[in-house]
Amino acid sequence: MLTTRIIPCLDVEDGQVVKGVRFEALRRAGDPVELAKLYNEQGADEIVFLDIGASYRSRRTMLEVVERVSDCVFVPLTVGGGIRNIQEMRDALNAGADKVAICTAALETPELINEGAARFGSQCIVLSIDAKRVGDRWHAFAKGGRLDTGVDAVDWAREAERRGAGEILLNSIDRDGTGTGYDLELTRRVADSVSIPVIASGGAGTLDQLYQAVVDGHADAVLLASLLHYQAYTVADIKRYLKQKGLHIR
């Protein structure tokens, strides 16, 4: 049985961790280095660092912050936000990232997935999909959730796997920051359509919703922000609960 991973997410803008609702109304949640240290100590399996302003402001990922985070975190670190080409992938990896997450750039140039996987290995390439329901489908959005590409999110996940992506970070824009639970139908459709791991993101508000993401949504990992940043629970609390529910937790 595969281990379910618990992954805190640090959304960073202007050097501070922020959290909003559906990618809007951002409020500060703390210092990225201090929060990374805390979650590392609490037993996080991995940490995701996203420079959320980078893609639509054409700003390079804040590599100095990545370096500071990687110095104090001893679990795998995924870095994303505005990574547009192979050199920027290399820069992030050299700054201490174990994986790079790409979203807008991959939608604009899908071959970037192939090239990144060929250069650094599929295990380093995470396709981040910001998905929003449109009618009876979900579209992949670009530019920090601002641009509807019209691309079907489930089809895009399949294509990314074919191109060499090693993992899917699936975020529901509709659920993001709402605390109403993950979009289980979206998560299940994507997870059932690919053989690579899928990380559920967007909407966690209770511990049972994390359990549902794995059991009903078929996710391999859960991404968390608000539940942790505002100290509703610790990573250890979450792991204890999920173990009691029968999940295989590290």
pLDDT digits (tens, 9 = 90+) for 67-77: 988 888 899 99
Q: What is the pLDDT of residue 62?
A: 66
Whether 11 is catalytic is yes
CA distance linking residue 242 with residue 246, whole number of Å: 6
Whether 136 is catalytic is no
Query: Which three-class secondary structure state does DSSP give residue 174?
Result: coil
Annotated catalytic residue within 91, 130, 183, 220: 130
pTM, to two decimals? 0.93
DSSP-derived secondary structure letter, 193:
H
Residue corresponding to tokens 């289980």:
184
CA distance linking residue 180 with residue 145, whole number of Å: 19
| 116 closest CA partner among 156, 86, 160, 159 | 86
Confidence label for 57 from pLDDT (cuts 50, 70 and 90): very low
Work out the average pLDDT over 117-139: 97
